[in-house]
Structure formats: C-alpha cells, structure tokens
A and B are shown apart, each in its own frame.
Chain A
Amino acid sequence: MTDTTSTGVLADRRAPLWKRLPIVAQLRRSVGLQRGMLVAGVVICAVFLLTAVFAPLIAPYGFGQLGDDGGTFPRQAPPSAVHLWGTTVGGYDVFSRVVWGTRTAIAVVVVAVVLSITIGVALGLVSGYLGGWLDRVLVVIADAVYAFPSLLLAIVVSIVISGGQSSLWGGIISAGISITVVYVPQYFRVVRAEAVRLKSEAFVESAKVVGSSTPRIMFKHVLRNATRSLPLILTLNASEAILTLAALGFLGFGIGPTSAAEWGYDLNRALSDTASGIWWTGVFPGAAIVLMVLGITLVGESLNDLADPRLRTRRRARRKTKNDTTATSAVTEEVPA
C-alpha cells in the first residue's frame, strides 16, 4: 500500500497539471492488454477534448445553421462533399452538429462531476466521521435514491430545473444536476465507508491528541486517505452524465437545436428517419455517444483492474517470464494485500 502511494506522489511531480495523477501513475504500472485499454481510452478522450476545444475550426457550419450563401440546406440530404455526413430532417448539417455536440457533452460532464464530487465527498466525510443520527438518516436517504432508476430521477429533476425549457445553460445545468442527484449517493457510500475505517486509525488519534480541530482532521487527514476509489467512480459518473444527457434529449427534455447541438435530441429527430432507410442522421451522433462513453469507460475499467490487487497481481505473475522487472515489483505490492 505504501509502495503505491509513493509512486503516485512521484508521478504527480512529473506529470503535467492537466493530466490527472491517477491515470499517469497507472499508465506507468500497466502492461499488455491493460495498458492497451488505458491508452486507447485516454486517446479517445483526448480526441473528444480537442474536438470540443477546436469545434469552431473543425465544424464547417454552426450547430443551428440552416443555410449559407448558396441558399438553405436541403433536408435529409445524403452524405456528400458539401455535407460530409448529410443533413437532418430539420435541415441541419449532421457533421457540424456532431462536432458542436462534444462541447455540450463535455460541459455536462464537468458540471456533473464537479457537483457530485463536492457534495458526495463532503456528505460522506461528515456522515462517516461524525456518525450519529445524521449519519443514519443520510445512509437511508442515499440507499433509497441509489436504488431508484436514475433516468426517472433525472427526468424529475430536469422538470424542476428547466421546467422542460430548453436553453443552452438551462439544459446543461439541469442535466448536470440530474446526474449529481444520482451520483451523490455513490460518492457518499464510498467516502463514508473509508471515513468510518480511517477514523479509528492511529494517525487520526494522534492528530486529535495534538489538538487539531475536527474539520481539519476531516478534510486534511481523513479526506487525503479516502480518495483511493474516487477515480473509478469519477469515470462512471462522467460516462453516465453523457448517457443521461442523451437520454433526456431523446425523450424531448434536452437542449433545443437552436441553443446548442445535443446528440440525444438529434437521435430523437432521427428516429422517424429510420423507417425510410435514412441512416446518417442517427448513426453519426449515436456513434459519437458510444465512442465517448467507450473512451471514458476504458479508462475507468483499466483503473479498476489496476487498483484491484486480485485482478492486477495475477496478471503480472503470468507475465513473469517475459517482463521480469515489472513482475517483481508487482510481487512486492502483493504482499500487504
């Protein structure tokens, strides 16, 4: 265990700030298939990030643009040189909307992840460390929310926040908060469990003896040691954010076409096209969702495997003959587990 944290700290010093520490640390430890999955995931995520940043340069038209100098765009036109991926039933350019859609998706991911982590971790710490009736009440509430179908909860929350309106930020915030409501219990459970475990540790005792205040112990000593499994939940949270945004859009509760590009909305409109064999309006935005979630999930899966000693060490042991140095380092890590 101590071994793992020390390499993590080393990686932190070397890694550029934007690259998150857990991924870098794990990338250096991984081998073979796991490394392949991790690299593939990171690359896919990077491509989407770049697309979002450079969307104005990549997309030939605006997301709400219905025509250019040559007149209005044709409707449901098949892919051509002018419209790479064709046009939709509403006359939008499919390629441009897919490219602009990455911005919306990433904005929702950021809002959702930041909100859920902040609230979930804070509640988990307070609940786990302080205990008492607050803890019991929070656990029951978290379990109730956790068991409920997340999409239904998201529908209810988005009704509340946007009232079914569909402005850009209204849509992003409501999708983000919907995911937050669903994911707070997940962070809460994990952090609470860790906090319960940590509060009886010797270093917490000694901090108390030295006279540290309770908030300081909670947020400095306990929190720092309770973040082990957060990266995995974070990736689940991010991919769920994209899927829920798309699902809300598909049900007609997302962001309108003139406010922003949103893949779920496009799929909703594409549904009736399928009957007449028009595939390009649905396949491209759908593929974008799948790819983006795939990228994030690949990162999450690899992190999960690398974090689980049962899943990691045996893999190393089998590769012992090929890769002696990594195998021995894995064996030393195996001992405490």
Chain B
Amino acid sequence: MTSLIEAPLASEPPTPDPTVRRRRPGGGFGRYLVVRALLIIPTVFILVTLVFFLMRVVGNPITASVGGRLTEAQLQERLAAAGYDRPIIVQYLEYLGQIVRLDFGTTATDNRQISEVIVTYGSATVELVFYALIIALVIGIPLGMLAAYVRDRWPDAVLRILAILAYATPVFFAGLLLKLTFSVWLGWFPLGGRASTRIGIALGRIENPTGIYLIDALRTGNSTIIVDVLSHAVLPALTLGLLTAGIFLRLVRTNVIGTLGSDYIDAARSRGVGELRLVRKHALKPALIPIITVMGLQIAMLLGGSVLTETTFGWRGLGFQLQQYLSARDFIAVQGIVAVLAVIVAVTNFLVDVVAALIDPRVRY
C-alpha cells in the first residue's frame, strides 16, 4: 500500500505554461496528455499478449469448451474453420489485427459477438460499479478524515478495525451475509436480480433503453418501477461499496495524517481557522492527489469485485456473464471479455492520471 501512495508523488508535475522550463524541457500539460495517452497502447498490448499466450498454452479453446461433445472429425473441422490449425504466431497477429478493429471474437458456446455481449451486459456492470463507487466515497472519505483527526483515540481504533474487516471479508461472503440478514430474515430487500421479472420485461420494452435500469426507470416516471429497481440495487451496491469504502478510509486516513502534521496546518489553526474547515479544506485537499491516483486503481479492482458481487446476487452484468462462460468452459468468451476489460482499465487509469495532473496545485501556484 505504501508504494501505491508514494507512486504519484514521483511523477513529474506538469507545468501549465510551455515557455516555463522546469526539470524536463517542454514538459507542458499538452505534452503530458499525449505521452500519457500513448502509454495506453503498450499497456493494452502487453495485457492482451499475455492473455493470448497464456490461454493458448492450454491448447485451443474449442477443444476445451466443446471437445467432449464432438467426434474427432467434427472437432478438426471446427478447428480448421476457426483457424486454430495454423501456426500460433499467425493466429496471434490476426488476433492483434482484430483487437485494433475492436473485434474481440465470437463466443464458442452461444456464438455471439463478444462486443455484443459487452454492450448488452456492460451497462448493468457500469450501474453497479457507479453505485458502489458513490457508497465508497460517501462512507470512506468522511470517516477517513474523522479517523485521521481523532487518531489513536477509540473512534480511530474502531474505524481502523472496521476498515480491516471490510478488507478481510471476501465480497461474496459479505454479500451472502447481507442477503441472509436483510433479504431472508428481515425481508426488506429482494434476494437478487436487477428488477422483478415483470418490471425487468417492462423496462426492456421502453424506447431506446439505456440498459442502466435506474435511468430507464426514471424515464418511465413510474414510482413502483423506480422503487423496485432501487430496492434491488441496495444490497449489491452495499456489498461492493463497503469493501471499497474500507480501502478509501485507510487511504484517506494515512494521507490526511501526513498533511495534518504539516506546519501550514498549525499556521492555519493559529489564524483561527475552524477545526472542521481545517480538516476538510486544508488537510484533505493536498492529500487528494495520491488519493485520486489510488482510487483510479481501485476502479480496476471494483471491476474484479463486480464479477463476484454479480455472481452472488444474480445481477446480470458482465461479471455474471463472465462467470457463466467460465462454468461453460468457453475460454474464447473469457479471453474476449478480459481483453475488453483490459482496455477499460487502461483508459480509466489514463483519465485518473489526467485528473490528478489537473488538480495538482503545483500547476496553479
């Protein structure tokens, strides 16, 4: 974790004015943006290459998924049709070509375009990750500031233990516990899914559905639908959000402790700045840069966590679908989805770095 927090500090502070020459000549924000954007390419390339060769070590995906069900001749025919009888380097180059054209292949089990699968189920995952992120921010940041402020007293100890517990609890176990408590025993929330069956069908029928149920429900303006959609989202969002909230809490705590010890905090306090303002403005803001960078990495972890959360709650998103393909041993689909997620992660990290560079006070002062 420490290495995570230190990492962004090591990066070159971008300068707003290209005529001002700092440590690196011509290190303007535009240049930083371009260089950082270009870095997406090797990142995606490395991940896609890694995944491709790893998956091919086992053999070919067709034998793995449908091998047992076909005769040898049929299998060979399928292999030849899919091009798996050619040298691996040819397959690799072809695969790279496909990726460049954003064609991630066709699933082996149900013969769908991976891009179509992504579009169909991606919105559900985006919705879930968004809720979780909101919960994590709303819980993690204030509590982290509180813990830093009352550091070493009992509320800090309690919060730290809670944060460690949040980390130590696997998402699916947290989900199982929440489900058991709030759905089965108390009956407050539904057991799983994104909406009740009838409402799900109704939402599928509206014009130009976004696939994000909350937006679609709001567009219908029907309060029953909105309540139904929201009540389905509460437990999955809490499950995924609480896990991340623990990480955010620790992150904010460590960084705010660092800034709270600075001289300018003492200076502000002696000028009569209120304690709340002191923590919220003076201590949190400089601590935000490393926090934002690590939060960007957490979005990648949220995608991983969403696979488990979606499986736990039958939330039919990308992660749920990935698990289905995994069970079906459809490794083409798995490879495709993983490749797409690699692109998403790389782009997210790029955006986060840009935001961090933009809010870096060294740019303005």
Q: Which residues in A have some Cβ–Cβ distance to B below 8 Å?
A: 33, 140-141, 143-145, 147-152, 155-157, 159-160, 163-164, 186, 189-190, 193, 229, 232-233, 236, 239, 243, 246-247, 250-253, 264, 267, 270-271, 274-277, 279, 282-283, 286, 289-291, 293-294, 297-298, 301, 304, 308, 310-311, 314-315, 318
Contacts and interface: CB of A to CB of B under 8 A. Distances in A.
A149 B301 contact: yes
Nearest to B326: A251
A304 B177 contact: no
A160 B55 contact: yes
A253 B64 contact: no
A233 B3 CA distance: 10
Interface string B331-344: 10011001001100
Contacts of B64: 163-164
A73 to B, nearest CB: 23
A189 B3 contact: yes
B351 to A, nearest CB: 13
Contacts of B341: 149, 152
Most chain B beta carbons < 10 A, residue from A148, A150, A229, A247: A148
Contacts of A251: 307-308, 311, 323, 326
A227 B335 CA distance: 37
Contacts of B261: 310, 314
A189 B10 CA distance: 13
Secondary structure type dominating chain B contacts: helix
Contacts of B164: 294, 297-298, 301
Given A151-B308, A250-B170, A252-B327, 10 more contacts: A144-B43, A145-B47, A156-B55, A164-B64, A229-B2, A250-B172, A275-B191, A286-B169, A291-B168, A314-B261
A148 B169 contact: no
Q: How large is the interface on B (under 10, 10 to 19, 20 to 34, 35 or more residues)?
A: 35 or more
B50 A149 contact: no
Contacts of A283: 176-177, 180
Contacts, number: 166
B289 interface: no
Interface string B24-52: 00000000000000000011001100110
A156 B54 contact: yes
| Pairs A-B, 4 closest by C-beta atoms | A149-B304, A286-B173, A151-B304, A293-B168
A150 B305 CA distance: 10
Nearest to A187: B3
A315 B156 CA distance: 13
A229 B331 CA distance: 38
B243 to A, nearest CB: 11
Given A147-B297, A149-B303, A304-B2, A157 B191 contact: no
B55 A294 contact: no
Interface in B151-187: 152, 157, 160, 164-165, 167-170, 172-173, 176-177, 179-180, 183-185
B57 interface: yes
Interface in B183-206: 183-185, 191
Interface of B: 1-3, 42-43, 46-47, 50-51, 54-55, 57-59, 64, 152, 157, 160, 164-165, 167-170, 172-173, 176-177, 179-180, 183-185, 191, 254, 257-258, 261, 297, 300-301, 303-305, 307-308, 311-312, 322-323, 326-327, 329, 331, 334-335, 338, 341-342, 345-346, 349
Contacts of B183: 274
A289 B176 CA distance: 13
B297 A289 contact: no
Given A147-B43, A147-B297, A163-B64, A290 B303 contact: no
Contact of B46 (A141, A267, A270): A141
A289 B170 contact: yes
A232 B3 CA distance: 11
Contacts of B54: 156-157, 159-160
A75 B43 CA distance: 49
Contact of A294 (B168, B297, B312): B168
Contacts of A147: 43, 297, 300, 345-346, 349
B330 to A, nearest CB: 11
Most chain B beta carbons < 10 A, residue from A150, A160, A279, A308: A160
A134 B1 CA distance: 26
Contacts of B184: 274-277
A290 B304 contact: no
A140 B177 contact: no
B172 A279 contact: no
Given A159-B334, A163-B58, A267-B172, A151 B307 contact: yes
Contacts of A243: 170
B180 A282 contact: yes
A10 to B, nearest CB: 26
B170 to A, nearest CB: 5
Contact of B179 (A229, A274, A311, A314): A274
Contacts of B338: 152, 155-156
Contacts of B301: 149-150
B102 to A, nearest CB: 19
Contact of A253 (B254, B326, B345): B326
Contacts of B257: 310-311
Nearest to B314: A271
Given A250-B172, A274-B179, A297-B168, A144 B185 contact: no
A189 B170 CA distance: 26
A276 B183 CA distance: 10
B185 A277 contact: yes
Contacts of A33: 152, 157
Nearest to B172: A250
Most chain B beta carbons < 10 A, residue from A159, A189, A193, A264: A159
B115 to A, nearest CB: 18
Given A155-B326, A251-B307, A286-B173, A239 B152 contact: no
A232 to B, nearest CB: 7
A155 B334 contact: yes
24 contacts: A140-B46, A144-B43, A145-B50, A147-B297, A155-B338, A156-B54, A251-B323, A251-B326, A274-B176, A275-B184, A276-B184, A277-B185, A279-B180, A286-B177, A290-B168, A290-B169, A290-B170, A294-B168, A301-B164, A304-B2, A311-B254, A311-B257, A315-B152, A318-B152
